[in-house]
């Protein structure tokens, strides 16, 4: 049997020590009528056979390395240096669990402490936790934090329509039992910041915006921060960490919580998961936040060491009074992000961000020249931009794939009725000029 080391002799001697005659006898507490069901599963495979089966399944997919990809919308094709996976593959990291015994978990704990430090420095915030499941659930937990900061007395949440639609959906799922009113994104229509600011009042717990927003646009958030703070609401910013290599961090605008999807930093695409929710907050709210936290301390000899701390907020201590039910999070993906941030560092993060920025702007300029296509450029953008198309986006994408082997952009009509026939195009450091030129040529063909 795979992965079971017991010989017949082992079994016999173990059963004798226990004082039973058979393994079956160990299960007498299980109701007899339901005991030992015949499971209808396909027969077992050897490692060689299972490899062959999964290779066949994998080959049945068309991947982003088979063809140029201009799809983003919350999951991004960014380069992952080999050093990231080399570290992730160390069994000492990936076969450990939550560091409940700090003396034998310093590797995990210190790497999380370093991750927390780098996330704080990237976002311009005071405190980062050890991670959430993804950007969407980190956003939902940020909303719950804001509700807790106001001791459940404020029930209104203002949500920009240009926060990722799936994040907004997850916020609604998480808070469905809390009796909140979520406003701002009802019809998914365009609202500029002043409209959102007007919705803030003394019952508002928080305002949530995305930076760059779902349409790729960037704006100064300090006005919104002031407006939120004027009514003592928290400003929650959902940020793209790659963009923060270049752009002003939300902390400088006065954000109270910065969350986001860390997938771009070393996690790869993986068909949507496992990804990384990062979560950073102002120090004054640290006791209201969810998630695991690593802190520095000393051992019995006075040496520096690291432990999980402030666990009195957490479910295993506080039970029904905990700030969240979260326990397992995304430890290994946080490690990937830490290695990524340390590998690229001060200079590399900036250069990757600039490369995304310049190539996206080059692509936008070229696409704007094509008859029938235009680029919506009411505000500065980072690596994604909106293209108004002469035909339905689905048709264009089918053409790009069938005739050119290109994975086209995201169909914004799915989320915004006003943006029917609008495509969200994403360009990263993974799209060299030749790929952009090829996309432009293909779109010219679509136009003609």
List binders of another protein among 117-176 (CB under 8 A): 117-118, 120-122, 126-128, 130-131, 133-137, 144, 164, 166-167, 169-170, 172-174, 176
Query: 247 with 218: CB under 8 angstroms?
Result: yes
CA dist 289 and 139 (Å) reads: 12
* Per CB under 8 A, 321 contacts another protein: yes
The Cα 266–Cα 335 span in angstroms is 9
Q: Facing residues of 237 across strands?
A: 209, 258
- Decide if residue 369 touches another protein (CB under 8 A): no
Q: Which of 232, 351, 369, 418 binds another protein (CB under 8 A)?
A: 351
Cα 8 to chain centroid distance, Å, stands at 48
Paired strand residues for 259: 238, 279
Q: Is 401 in the site for another protein (CB under 8 A)?
A: yes
335 counts as binding another protein under rule CB under 8 A: yes
Given 234, 260, 324, 440, the residue binding another protein (CB under 8 A): 324
Segment 23 to 52, residues that bind another protein, using CB under 8 A: 23, 25-31, 34-47, 50-51
Least Å distance between CB 231 and another protein?
Answer: 25
Contacts (CB under 8 A) with another protein, residues 205-264: 218-220, 244-249, 252, 261
Q: How far apart are the C-alpha atoms of 189 and 278, rounded to whole Å?
A: 28
Alpha-carbon span 1 to 60, nearest angstrom: 30
Integer CA distances (angstroms), 132 to 38, 126, 144, 348, 364, in order: 38, 17, 13, 25, 34
CB of 244 to another protein, least distance (A): 7
Size of the site for another protein (CB under 8 A): 204
Dist. CA 375–CA 388, nearest whole Å: 6
- Contacting residue, 327, 372, 405, 417, with another protein by CB under 8 A: 327
Question: Does 402 engage in binding with another protein (CB under 8 A)?
Answer: no
Nearest distance in Å: CB 151, another protein: 14
Letters for 279-298 (x = contact with another protein by CB under 8 A, - = none) are -------x-----xxxxxxx
Name the DSSP class of 69. Answer: B
Cis, peptide link before residue 414, omega less than 30° from 0 = no
Measured between alpha carbons, how far is residue 158 from residues 166, 180, 360, 397 in Å? 16, 11, 30, 34
Q: How far is the CB of 135 from another protein (least distance, A)?
A: 6
Query: Which pair of structure tokens corresponds to residue 332?
Result: 């290994």
Q: Which of 8, 21, 151, 177 binds another protein (CB under 8 A)?
A: 177
Q: Is residue 12 close enough to count as binding another protein by CB under 8 A?
A: no
CA–CA distance, 373 with 403 (Å, rounded to integer):
19
Ramachandran category for residue 302: left, alpha or beta (phi over 0 → left; psi -120 to 50 → alpha): left
Does residue 95 touch another protein according to CB under 8 A?
yes
Q: Are 401 and 408 in contact (CB under 8 A)?
A: yes
Q: 200 or 429: whose CB is closer to another protein?
A: 429
Window 61 to 80, contacts with another protein (CB under 8 A): 61-65, 69, 71, 73-75, 77
Q: How far is the CB of 290 from another protein (least distance, A)?
A: 10
Q: Which of residues 179-208 bind another protein (CB under 8 A)?
A: 179
């Amino acid at each position: 049997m795979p992965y079971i080391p017991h010989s017949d002799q082992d079994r016999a001697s173990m059963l004798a020590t226990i004082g039973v005659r058979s393994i079956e006898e160990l299960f007498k507490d299980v109701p007899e009528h339901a005991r030992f069901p015949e499971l209808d599963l396909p027969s077992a495979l050897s490692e060689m056979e299972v490899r062959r089966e999964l290779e066949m399944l994998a080959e049945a997919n068309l991947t982003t390395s088979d063809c140029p990809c201009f799809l983003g919308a919350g999951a991004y094709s960014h380069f992952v240096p080999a050093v990231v996976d080399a570290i992730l593959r160390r069994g000492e990291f990936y076969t450990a669990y939550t560091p409940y015994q700090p003396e034998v978990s310093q590797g995990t704990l210190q790497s999380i402490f370093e991750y927390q430090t780098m996330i704080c420095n990237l976002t311009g915030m005071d405190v980062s936790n050890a991670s959430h499941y993804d950007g969407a659930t980190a956003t939902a937990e940020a909303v719950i934090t804001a509700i807790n900061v106001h001791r459940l007395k404020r029930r209104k949440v203002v949500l920009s329509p240009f926060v990722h639609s799936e994040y907004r959906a997850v916020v609604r799922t998480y808070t469905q039992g809390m009796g909140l009113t979520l406003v701002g994104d009802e019809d998914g229509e365009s609202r500029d910041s002043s409209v959102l600011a007007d919705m803030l009042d003394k019952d508002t717990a928080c305002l949530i915006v995305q930076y760059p927003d779902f349409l790729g646009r960037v704006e100064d958030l300090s006005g919104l921060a002031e407006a939120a703070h004027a009514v003592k609401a928290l400003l929650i910013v959902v940020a793209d960490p790659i963009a923060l290599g270049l752009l002003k961090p939300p902390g400088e605008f006065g954000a109270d919580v910065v969350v986001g999807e860390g997938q771009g930093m070393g996690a790869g695409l993986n068909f949507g998961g496992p990804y990384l929710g990062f979560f950073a907050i102002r120090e004054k709210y640290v006791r209201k936040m969810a998630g695991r936290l690593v802190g520095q301390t000393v051992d019995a000899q006075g040496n520096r060491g690291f432990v999980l701390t402030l666990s009195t907020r957490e479910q295993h201590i506080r039970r029904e009074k905990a700030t969240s039910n979260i326990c397992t999070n995304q430890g290994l993906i946080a490690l990937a992000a830490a290695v990524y941030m340390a590998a690229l560092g001060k200079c590399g993060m900036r250069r990757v961000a600039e490369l995304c920025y310049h190539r996206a702007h080059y692509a936008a300029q070229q696409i704007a020249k094509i008859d029938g296509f235009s680029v919506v450029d009411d505000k500065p953008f980072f690596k994604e931009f909106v293209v108004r198309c002469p035909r339905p986006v689905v048709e264009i994408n089918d053409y790009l794939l069938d005739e050119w082997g290109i994975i086209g952009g995201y169909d914004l009509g799915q989320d915004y009725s006003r943006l029917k026939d609008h495509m969200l195009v994403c360009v990263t450091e993974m799209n060299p000029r030749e790929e952009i030129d090829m996309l432009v040529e293909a779109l010219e063909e679509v136009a003609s």
